[in-house]
Structure 1
Amino acid sequence: MIRVGVVGASGLAGGELIRLVTQHPDLELAFLGGSSNIGRRPAELHPGLRLELGLTVEPVTEDVADRVDVLLLATPAPVSAELAGLLADRIPAVVDLSGAFRIRTPELHDRWYPKVARRTDLADRFVYGVPELVGDRMADAALISLPGCYATAITLGLAPLTLGLGLDLGNVVVDGKSGSSGGGLQLRTADLHPLRAGAIAPYAPVGHRHAAEVGDFLGRGGRGSIGRLSMSAYGVPQVRGLLTSSYVFLDEPVDQRELQRAYLRFYKEHRFVRVRRHTETLVPVPDPQAVLGSNYCDVTVMHDEEGDRIVVLAALDNLVKGAAGQAVQAVNRRFALPEEAGLSMLPVMPA
């Protein structure tokens, strides 16, 4: 069994990690780390997890290196940067779910994460990206940085155009909508129920750091390019799930059938990305409801002849494929386990 530690065990992503790791056939939950809930059991922190694992939340010290084979950091970016500096090269694998090491370019990192000081040498060593696109590089990787939830959806939506077809996308505009769980458990006035329920909140209408991640990553992909990528993000009245709509403006003509075939071909060997036709079900898809509780990302590509643009829709559960599920998928890749191990759950709908 592979011994797993979860730091940030009391958060939403931490709870999802506990849920997934304890159901995994090849993983053993061996350590729970945190700072604000020392001594508390998982069942106290997460009402849905009535588990007696013999574990309580502990402070994270260098001694954790003797207890785990992989450490999952579901912590704020400044904490992840500090812990990675402390534990790199002491643990066979560290997987970070925060933004501490997502953007490799120092200037771009400082712009979007000005309060996150990190070791430059570590930033260059982290393998960044979704497993579908960089999975081979995750094998035997000591340090893995996972994309944010929006960045995961956007990248999976655009990768067949850039990395697959090698297109140069001059201008991409992204519209993102996410449920309240994307903001974690921080207490903010805008997230109080009387203000959030029934609202469509434009919390980042003119910029989002996940868009910077996508541009930084795809710009180093080797095929195709993105000239400019801008994003607006909105909070919507649901708890889980997100949808990204990417609008790609091209001068050259495109064919809908060729686009569909290109996406099917690109993701043919990747179980967790489902390429869908918008009208294939009774409910138009992609719809975040159709992926909740699962590690799937549903992707649809369409050619808008009237608008002379490509429209790419991507939906996922931000706490699973956008966070904890993707972390387990990365662990599977890192330790040469079947990629679907512990992640075979189907979506729950309606939710």
Structure 2
Amino acid sequence: MIRAGVVGASGLAGGELIRLITQHPELELAFVGGSSSVGRRPAELHPNLRIDFGLTVQPVTEDIADQVDVVFLATPAPASAELAALLADRVPSVIDLSGAFRIRTPELHRRWYPKVDRSTELADRFVYGVPELVRDQLVDAPLISLPGCYATAITLGLAPLTLELGLDLRTVLVDGKSGSSGGGLHLRTADLHPFRNNAITPYSPTGHRHAGEVADFLARAKSGSVGSLTMSAYGVPLVRGLLTSSYVFTDGTVDQRTLQRAYTRFYKGDRFVRVRRHDETLIPVPDPQAVLGSNYCDVTALHDEEGGRIVVLAALDNLVKGAAGQAVQAANIRFGLPEETGLTMQPVLPA
């Protein structure tokens, strides 16, 4: 068995990691760590976890290296930067779910994460990216930085355009809509039920850090280029799930048939990316409710001939494919397991 530790056990992503790890046939939950919840059992922190795992939340020290083979950091970015520096070269694999090491370019990192002080040398050692796009780099990787939930959806949506078709994307405008769990458990007035319920909240209308990491990753991935990539983000009255709508303007010529073939070809054999036709089901897809509770990302690309643009839609569960599920997927690849191990659950509908 592969011994796994979860740090940030009291958070939403931490709870989801515990749920997935304890159902995984090859992972053993060996450590749960945190600061504010030291001494508490996972079942006290997460009402859905009634099982007694025989563990309580412990402070994180370098001694964790004797207890785990992989540690998942479901912690805020400043804490992840400190913990990664402590655990790198001690734990065989560190998988960080925060934004501490997502953006490689130092200037861009300082712009979007000004409060996250990290070592440039350490940041350069992290493998970043959606598993479907960097699979070979994850094998035996000691340090892995997972994309943000929005970034996962945007990148999976755009990758076939740049990496398969080699298009130069002159302008990409992203509209992102996410449920309340995307903000974690921080108490903010805008997230209180009287204000959040039945509301569409423009919490980041002129820019979002996840767009920065997508642009940084695609620039390093090469093939086609991306000129300007900007994003507006909105909170919607969901708990789980998000949808990104990317409006792409390119000087290249492409029609609907070419798009569909390119996306199908690019993701052939990828278990967790489902290339959809917008009108193939009883409800239009992609739709977050059609992926909830699963590690799937549903993607559709549409050619808007009249508007001279490509519309790319991507939906996922922000706590699974956008966080904990993708972390387990990366761990599976890292330790040579079948990629889908422990992640074969189907979406729940209605939810």
Shorter-chain TM-score bucket reads over 0.9
User: How far apart are 1:183 and its partner, in Å?
Assistant: 0.1
Residue 349 of structure 1 corresponds to 349
CA distance in structure 2 between the aligned counterparts of 1:224 and 1:217, rounded to whole angstroms: 12
CA distance in structure 2 between the aligned counterparts of 1:163 and 1:71, rounded to whole angstroms: 31
1:122-167 deviation digits (Å, cap 9, x = unpaired)? 1000000010000110000000000000000000000000011111
Given residue 91 of structure 1, which amino acid in structure 2 is its aligned partner? V
Task: Report if aligned partners of 2:168, 2:252 keep a CA contact under 8 Å in 1.
Answer: no
Given residue 135 of structure 2, which amino acid in structure 1 is its aligned partner? G
Residue 83 of structure 2 corresponds to 83
CA distance in structure 1 between the aligned counterparts of 2:143 and 2:44, rounded to whole angstroms: 31
Residue 261 of structure 1 corresponds to 261
User: How far apart are 1:253 and its partner, in Å?
Assistant: 2.5
- How many residues are treated as equivalent by the alignment? 351
CA-atom RMSD in angstroms: 0.5
Residue 147 of structure 2 corresponds to 147
Residue 158 of structure 2 corresponds to 158
Residue 119 of structure 1 corresponds to 119
CA distance in structure 2 between the aligned counterparts of 1:52 and 1:223, rounded to whole angstroms: 50
Residue 238 of structure 1 corresponds to 238
Spell out the pairing of 1:271-282 with structure 2 (5 A cutoff).
271-282=271-282
The answer to whether structure 1 residue 28 and structure 2 residue 28 are counterparts is yes
Given residue 143 of structure 1, which amino acid in structure 2 is its aligned partner? L
1:253-293 deviation digits (Å, cap 9, x = unpaired)? 21101110000000001010000000000100000000000
Spell out the pairing of 1:262-301 with structure 2 (5 A cutoff).
262-301=262-301
Gaps spanning 5+ residues in structure 1: where?
none
Gaps spanning 5+ residues in structure 2: where?
none
Residue 223 of structure 1 corresponds to 223
Task: Report if aligned partners of 2:169, 2:251 keep a CA contact under 8 Å in 1.
Answer: no
Residue 8 of structure 1 corresponds to 8
Given residue 277 of structure 1, which amino acid in structure 2 is its aligned partner? R
CA distance in structure 1 between the aligned counterparts of 2:252 and 2:270, rounded to whole angstroms: 29
CA distance in structure 1 between the aligned counterparts of 2:126 and 2:163, rounded to whole angstroms: 21
CA distance in structure 1 between the aligned counterparts of 2:54 and 2:265, rounded to whole angstroms: 46
Spell out the pairing of 1:53-132 with structure 2 (5 A cutoff).
53-132=53-132
CA distance in structure 2 between the aligned counterparts of 1:106 and 1:164, rounded to whole angstroms: 28
- The runs of 4+ residues in structure 1 deviating greater than 6 Å are none
Residue 332 of structure 2 corresponds to 332
CA distance in structure 1 between the aligned counterparts of 2:165 and 2:107, rounded to whole angstroms: 30
Using the aligned pairs only, state the percent identity: 80
Residue 176 of structure 1 corresponds to 176
1:24-81 deviation digits (Å, cap 9, x = unpaired)? 0000000000000111111100000111110000000010010000000000000000
Task: Report if aligned partners of 2:289, 2:350 keep a CA contact under 8 Å in 1.
Answer: yes
